[in-house]
């Protein structure tokens, strides 16, 4: 027991040590933290709350009072972009956490009971969900839920958990054949205890890496779905800003488009860099490959 816990600690310590040396990874971490800070501020009501206030200044150029100018009905683009950061984090966190939970449960169950009926059933469900083109699936879910507020979130969760479940499944199959699990069974620990205390904790590094990947997919997908009219229903998001900016662009006003897509790009880029660095640091298989 003791050696097991110290070995996990050393995995995290080693990973942190390696991450610190990864300049791109640290840059990603800083960017993500910065955006997290911005969205926490919005959530606490410190900034970005005037996102829906209109003014008489239409399509104004950037100035000290409107950092990124105003849109066609005189709303402050900076405030909208900042408020949308919170929306992006809400979508990202909700979808990521729910997908991780679902993927962890399904993946552990099907991995621990590999080649059983339960396993085949879970694999079948995953195969089915992976076979339906994603945007159509979202459209279908939105259709079935009659444009429900969380139709987009539910559809993303319903699709994204399968990739996590597959990763967890193969890791659980690998772990359960290890000696310490056999030892646990030999001393009479229940399956539930073995899974909860000795298998799941050894998948956390994979969950972290998969989580960053899901987060990126979620915010990128939100933008496209909101643009298609299937996404965010209340408030403002980068996707909705880009959708409204297509009108401005035809009139030669690019501030809305550049702000929304620039913020989106920075956050996705930050997460991509962080995710790569985490994979290098945490995935033992990547050691030795350059």
Partner 1 sequence: MNHYLRFVLHKLIEGIPLILGVTLVSFVLMVYFGPDLTYELLGKNPSESDIIEVRQMLGYDQPFWWRYLAYLQELLTFDFGLSMVKDQPVADMLSRAIPVSLALMLPGFVLGNLLAVMLAMAAARHRGAWQDRAIMSGAVLGMSISFLVIIIAFQVIFASSYGLNWFPVRGWQVQDAQGQFNTMAYLNHVTVPTLATVFVSLGYNTRFYRAVLVEELHKDHITTATAYGHKPVTIMYKYMLKNALIPIITRVMFSIPMIVISGSLLIESYFGIPGIGLITYEAIMAGDQPVLKAVVGLTAVLFVVVLMVAEILYQLADPRINGGSGT
Which residues of the shown chain bind partner 1 in the complex (CB under 8 A)? Answer: 114, 119-120, 123-125, 127-129, 131-137, 139-146, 170, 173, 220, 223-224, 227-230, 239, 242, 245-246, 249, 252, 254, 257, 261, 264-265, 268-269, 272-273, 276, 289-290
Q: Are the C-beta atoms of 276 and 24 separated by less than 8 Å?
A: yes
- Classify residue 84 as exposed, middle or buried by CB count within 10 Å of its CB (0-12, 13-18, 19+): buried
For partner 1, which is the closer residue by CB, 70 or 226? 226
Query: Using the 8-state DSSP alphabet, how is residue 76 labeled?
Result: B
Helix residue ranges, H only, 113-229:
117-131, 134-144, 151-176, 179-186, 191-193, 204-227
d(CA 27, CA 37): 15
Q: Which residue is listed with tokens 């950061």?
A: 85
- Minimum CB–partner distance for residue 227 and partner 1 (Å): 6
Give the end-to-end CA distance of the chain in Å, rounded to a whole number.
Answer: 34
Nearest to 19 by CA among 275, 286, 289: 275
Determine which helix (DSSP H) or strand (DSSP E) holds 280, and give its type and residue range.
Answer: helix 255-282
For partner 1, which is the closer residue by CB, 25 or 211? 25
For partner 1, which is the closer residue by CB, 55 or 272? 272
- Minimum CB–partner distance for residue 79 and partner 1 (Å): 21
How crowded is the C-beta side of 73, counted as CA atoms within 13 Å?
Answer: 8
- Who's near 54: CB < 8 A, 6+ residues apart? 73, 74, 75
- Minimum CB–partner distance for residue 160 and partner 1 (Å): 15
d(CA 283, CA 199): 17
- Minimum CB–partner distance for residue 83 and partner 1 (Å): 19
- Minimum CB–partner distance for residue 225 and partner 1 (Å): 10
For partner 1, which is the closer residue by CB, 207 or 240? 240
d(CA 268, CA 276): 12
- Minimum CB–partner distance for residue 20 and partner 1 (Å): 19
For partner 1, which is the closer residue by CB, 128 or 149? 128
- Minimum CB–partner distance for residue 143 and partner 1 (Å): 6
For partner 1, which is the closer residue by CB, 145 or 208? 145
For partner 1, which is the closer residue by CB, 80 or 184? 80
For partner 1, which is the closer residue by CB, 4 or 265? 265
Q: Is 179 helix (H, G, I), strand (E, B) or coil?
A: helix
- Minimum CB–partner distance for residue 239 and partner 1 (Å): 8
């Amino acid at each position: 027991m003791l050696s097991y816990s110290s070995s996990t600690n050393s995995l995290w310590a080693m990973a942190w040590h390696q991450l610190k040396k990864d300049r791109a990874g640290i840059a990603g971490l800083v960017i993500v933290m910065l955006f997290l800070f911005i969205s926490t501020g919005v959530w606490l009501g410190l900034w970005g709350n005037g996102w829906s206030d209109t003014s008489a200044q239409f399509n104004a150029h950037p100035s000290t009072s409107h950092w990124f100018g105003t849109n066609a009905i005189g709303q402050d683009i900076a405030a909208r972009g900042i408020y949308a950061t919170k929306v992006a984090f809400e979508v990202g966190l909700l979808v990521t956490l729910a997908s991780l939970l679902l993927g962890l449960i399904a993946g552990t169950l099907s991995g621990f009971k590999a080649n059983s009926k339960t396993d085949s059933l879970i694999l079948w469900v995953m195969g089915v969900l992976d076979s339906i083109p994603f945007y159509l699936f979202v459209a279908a879910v939105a259709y079935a839920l009659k444009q429900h507020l969380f139709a987009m979130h539910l559809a993303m969760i319903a699709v994204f958990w399968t990739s996590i479940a597959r990763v967890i499944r193969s890791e659980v199959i690998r772990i359960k054949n290890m000696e310490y699990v056999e030892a646990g069974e030999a001393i009479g620990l229940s399956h539930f205890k073995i899974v909860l205390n000795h298998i799941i904790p050894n998948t956390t590094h994979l969950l972290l890496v998969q989580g960053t990947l899901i987060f990126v997919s979620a915010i990128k997908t939100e933008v496209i779905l909101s643009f298609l009219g299937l996404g965010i229903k209340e408030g403002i998001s980068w996707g909705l800003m880009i959708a409204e900016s297509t009108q401005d662009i035809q009139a030669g006003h690019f501030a809305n488009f550049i702000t929304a897509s620039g913020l989106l790009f920075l956050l996705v880029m930050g997460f991509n860099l962080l995710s790569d660095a985490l994979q290098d640091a945490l995935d033992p298989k990547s050691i030795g490959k350059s």
